[in-house]
Amino acid sequence: MNSFQNLLLLQNLYRLKALGFEYSDSFSINKISSNEKSYDLNTLSKNISTCHLCDLNKSRSQSMSGYGNPNATLMIIDYTVSYSEDTANSYFCGRSGEMLKDMIENVLELRLQDVYFTHAIKCKPLHSNTPSSSEWDSCKDYLFSQIEFVKPKVVVTLGKDAYAKVTSEDENFQRVRGHVINFKDYMLIPIYHPNHLLRNPDDKKVTFNDLKTIKSCL
């Protein structure tokens, strides 16, 4: 639902209220209804780029709708858009982005354009705050539609927050990290986020082994 549709909805509600109607059923306006879902990945990307379902549209430079091969066997999901990604409109910027590029090109031996990369939350959070549950509700249909359209063989989540959002599981991240998890019709493998590895270089060795696991599944 775009901002114009939101405005029409509010106008109709105020008009009905003025006529004496009262409302008792709750509803969410930041939820994509079944008849509004996109029919292909390109349309979905356009809908994401113009999305105004939550307040994050006020803090972003642009929505990050996704990058890479629409038929990729590997999809990588980050949690949320960073300040540097939002400013540069790039999925591989800064030290974290360079490390991710090295993981893909030098360990997995794939080209960046062979992978599909996206975020669970499509916009930069306001003042770098943790995204709210309402903001995730606005984005999650976009993310799961992307997975359905791309149909990757392997889904990799970067860090515990991305894993928790994708799977709705709050279990110990250390217990599942690097393991192959059956997720719907896909193999899901959670790994450390590059930002974590920059702060904890001792974990690079286990991540290298996790990447070898990913490579063996492709």
Per-residue pLDDT of the chain (218 residues; tens, 9 = 90+): 455 555 666 666 666 666 766 655 444 444 454 444 557 888 888 888 888 777 777 767 777 888 999 999 999 999 988 888 877 877 788 899 999 999 999 999 999 999 999 999 887 777 666 777 877 888 888 899 999 999 999 999 999 999 999 998 877 899 999 999 998 889 999 999 999 999 999 999 999 999 999 999 99
**Domain range for 81:** 3-217
pLDDT tens-digit map of 141-156: 889 999 999 999 999 9
Domains in the chain, number: 1
What six digits make up the tokens of 39? 């029919």
pLDDT value, residue 26? 46
Q: Identify the H or E element spanning 14.
A: helix 3-18
**What CATH code is carried by the domain that includes residue 161?**
3.40.470.10
pLDDT at 72: 96
**Strands in 81-159 per DSSP E:** 116-121, 154-158
Q: What is the pLDDT of residue 25?
A: 47
Contact 187, 180 (CB under 8 A): yes
Number of H helices, E strands in the chain: 9, 6
State CA 193 to chain mean position distance.
Answer: 14
| Element (DSSP H or E) covering residue 110 | none
pTM for this prediction: 0.79
Residues contacting 123, CB < 8 A, separation 6+: 51, 56, 57, 59, 60, 63, 64, 80, 81, 86
Under the phi-then-psi rule, with left for phi > 0, alpha for psi from -120 to 50, and beta for the rest, what region is 127? left
